[in-house]
């Protein structure tokens, strides 16, 4: 009866959980779609206006290059160059600058307002690159309009020979974006932003003047923005620390990114209320069914996990993750028997870190443990076959078991391990090499020999001793009989 009650309660809880989970996914999907629609609205408005601004810029560039038009009176020239663009809402200035950055034509006045803007980025980029085309710059404080925040749209003016003749500038007031974004509904903690592809923040809602112009290219959110043309993801804002669902789109014709983000707290507000109500009712109904089974399950899982961990600890070295000496004995016995039975070659490597005691005394045991772990990884990375295995023999010594491996093959693997350990370049002032190295002895049993596995270990150990005697950081292959 208890089992039946538990099964019924779990079934009810599972159905409830699935419904709530699907409801949560639906809330996220709805939020994604809503953010996408908001982004599309903002995108269409921005692209439409910027297209008009770009056409106005090109009209001015063409007019400036028309000698007949430039010879006309300032009034007629202004009408032809600017039409009524200068009166458009949120346009701060339309200026023509000469090659030195001085204002020569001003849409706001027949007598140009005096100013030199050769230090501005929008001037320098055209001065240095004739192929830049339409340039959308970073936010700046206008000198002609008392520090009003704007972003520049500019084009290069070139002479007939292609040389630099100046720049045409349209300053778009950031108030345009602020009004546009303020009209979009994003919830109490939502955010919408326009960001340059260089990471500069052009406008953000909620508005904070301190954020305008800030570069966020190192933020995790911005890296997502550059990873695809458009998409969505969840992350925490680097600006205000709020976790949000972000939808972003790189505008196809402008170096801008539109980002719409709804806060998770807003997305899941209704869902949380519903989930709390359902969970409360379900909890009251299921408490009698799952109380004892839940406690029993916890105890059972703890026991199984403890047994699994104990079994793993019994077979592996806790520091390096390689097999321990006890497991090594089992591996050696099994592989030795198989080699004797199938009359196949059997190789063994004895690896020892050179002057490890001196290293420990100099750098401390924590550094020693880190080095042992790194060396163990080098060994593991260089034995690729499933039958090959490695174990920590003790201290700084390791043994590698290589079934069906010839002396040449064993020497090759040993050399790879030695080079990998040396390649770690772990500083060791007590070594003649200046860094951690290892000496390796290799031995091979062949069917023609009559010996046991201890003889192979002894031969590999002797080869290791020879490697040490020859100056360390070497591989020596045992050439002596094993018997």
Mind listing the pLDDT tens digit for each residue in 298-331? 776 787 776 666 666 667 888 888 988 888 888 9
Mapped to the 3 state alphabet, what secondary structure does 306-318 carry? HHHHHHHHHHECC
Quick one: average pLDDT of 404-413? 93
Name all domains of the chain by residue range, CATH numbers in brackets.
65-173 (3.30.450.20), 325-477 (3.30.70.270)
Q: Is 23 helix (H, G, I), strand (E, B) or coil?
A: helix
Arithmetic mean of pLDDT, 444-462: 85
Look up tokens 């966020």; give the residue.
216
Question: Quick one: average pLDDT of 228-237?
Answer: 91
Q: What is the pLDDT of residues 5-44, one digit of tens each?
A: 566 767 777 788 888 888 888 888 888 898 999 999 999 9
Determine the Cα angle at 167 with ends 201 and 177, to 5°: 30
Assess whether pLDDT exceeds 50 at residue 368. Answer: yes
Q: Are strands 201-205 and 191-196 parallel, antiparallel or unpaired?
A: antiparallel
What was the pLDDT predicted at 5?
A: 59
Residues constituting the chain: 483
How high is the pLDDT of residue 18?
85
pLDDT digit string, tens, across residues 245-280: 999 999 998 999 999 999 988 888 888 888 888 878
pLDDT of residue 292: 63
Q: Return the pLDDT at 293.
A: 65
Q: How confident is the model over 207-232, as a mean pLDDT?
A: 90
User: How big is the CA angle at 68 (ends 67 and 72), to the nearest 5 degrees?
Assistant: 110
Average pLDDT over the chain, rounded to an integer: 87
**Could you report the per-residue pLDDT of 323-366, keeping only the tens digit for each?**
888 888 889 989 888 988 888 998 999 999 999 999 999 999 99
- Categorize the per-residue pLDDT at 483 as very low, low, confident or very high, splitting at 50, 70 and 90: very low
Q: Specify the DSSP element, H or E, that contains 300.
A: helix 269-315
Closest-CA residue to 233 (of 258, 191, 262, 206): 262
Six token digits for residue 98:
């000469």
Q: What is the pLDDT of residue 151?
A: 92
Distance from CA of residue 317 to its chain's centroid?
Answer: 33
For the chain, the C-alpha Rg in angstroms (whole number) is: 37
Residue 128 and residue 134: Cα distance in Å, rounded? Answer: 14
Pairing of strands 140-141, 135-136: unpaired
Structure tokens of 479?
Answer: 């050439």
pLDDT of residue 481: 56
3-state secondary structure the chain: CHHHHHHHHHHHHHHHHHHHHHHHHHHHHHHHHHHHHHHHHHHHHHHHHHHHHHHHHHHHHHHHCCHHHHCCCHHHHHHHHHCCHHHCCCEEEEEEEECCCEEEEECCECCCCCCECCCCHHHHHHHHCCCCCCEECCCEECCCCCCCEEEEEEEEEECCCCCEEEEEEEEEECHHHHHHHHCCCCCCCCEEEEEECCCEEEEEECCCCCCCCCECCCCHHHHHHCCCCEEEEEEECCCCCCEEEEEEEECCCCCEEEEEEEEHHHHCHHHHHHHHHHHHHHHHHHHHHHHHHHHHHHHHHHHHHHHHHHHHHHHECCCCCCECHHHHHHHHHHHHHHHHHHCCCEEEEEEEECCHHHHHHHHCHHHHHHHHHHHHHHHHHCCCCCCCEEEEEECCEEEEEEECCCHHHHHHHHHHHHHHHHHCCCECCCCCCCECCEEEEEEEECCCCCCCHHHHHHHHHHHHHHHHHCCCCCEEECCCCCC
User: How many CA atoms, within 13 angstroms, populate the side-chain half-sphere of residue 33?
Assistant: 6
Three-state DSSP class for 404? coil
d(Cα 338, Cα 345) in Å, to the nearest integer?
10
Give the pLDDT confidence score for residue 125 in this predicted structure. 94
DSSP H helices in 65-164: 67-70, 74-82, 121-128
d(Cα 239, Cα 222) in Å, to the nearest integer?
A: 12
């Amino acid at each position: 009866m208890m089992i039946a009650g538990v099964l019924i309660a779990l079934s009810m809880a599972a159905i409830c959980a699935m419904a709530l989970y699907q409801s949560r996914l639906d809330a996220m999907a709805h939020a994604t779609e809503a953010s996408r629609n908001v982004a599309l609205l903002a995108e269409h408005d921005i692209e439409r206006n910027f297209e008009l601004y770009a056409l106005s810029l090109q009209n001015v560039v063409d007019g400036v290059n028309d000698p007949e038009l430039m010879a006309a009176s300032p009034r007629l020239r202004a009408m032809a160059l600017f039409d009524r663009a200068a009166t458009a809402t949120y346009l701060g200035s339309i200026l023509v600058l000469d090659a030195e950055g001085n204002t020569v034509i001003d849409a706001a006045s027949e007598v140009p307002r005096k100013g030199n803007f050769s230090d501005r980025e929008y001037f320098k980029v055209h001065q240095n690159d004739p192929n830049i085309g339409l340039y959308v710059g970073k936010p700046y404080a206008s000198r002609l309009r008392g520090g009003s925040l704007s972003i520049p749209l500019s084009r290069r003016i070139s002479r007939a020979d292609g040389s630099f003749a100046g720049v045409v500038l349209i300053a778009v007031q950031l108030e345009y974006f602020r009004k546009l974004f303020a009209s979009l509904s994003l919830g109490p903690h939502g955010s919408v932003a326009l960001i340059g592809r260089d990471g500069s923040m052009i406008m953000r809602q909620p508005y904070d003047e301190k954020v305008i112009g800030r570069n966020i290219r190192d933020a995790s959110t911005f890296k997502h923005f550059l990873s695809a043309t458009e998409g969505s993801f969840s992350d925490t804002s680097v600006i205000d620390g709020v976790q949000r669902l972000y939808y972003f789109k790189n505008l196809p014709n402008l170096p801008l990114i539109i980002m719409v983000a709804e806060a998770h707290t807003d997305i899941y507000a209704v869902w949380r209320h519903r989930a709390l109500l359902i969970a409360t009712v379900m909890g009251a109904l299921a408490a009698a069914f799952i109380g004892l089974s839940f406690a029993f399950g916890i105890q059972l899982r703890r026991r199984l996990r403890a047994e699994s961990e104990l079994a793993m600890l019994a077979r592996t070295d806790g520091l390096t993750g390689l097999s321990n000496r006890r497991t090594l004995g089992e591996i050696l016995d099994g592989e030795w028997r198989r080699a004797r039975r199938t009359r196949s070659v059997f190789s063994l490597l004895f690896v020892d870190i050179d002057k490890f005691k001196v290293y420990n005394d100099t750098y401390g045991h924590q550094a020693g443990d880190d080095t042992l772990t790194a060396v163990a990884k080098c060994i593991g990375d260089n034995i690729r076959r499933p039958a090959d295995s490695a174990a920590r023999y003790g201290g700084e010594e390791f043994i590698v078991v290589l079934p069906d491996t010839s002396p040449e093959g064993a020497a090759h693997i040993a050399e790879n391990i030695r080079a990998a350990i040396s390649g770690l370049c772990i500083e060791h002032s007590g070594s003649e090499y200046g860094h951690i190295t290892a000496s390796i002895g290799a031995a091979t049993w062949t069917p023609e020999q009559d010996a046991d596995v201890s003889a192979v270990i002894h031969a590999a150990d002797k080869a290791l001793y020879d490697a040490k005697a020859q100056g360390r950081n070497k591989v020596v292959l045992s050439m002596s009989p094993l018997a």
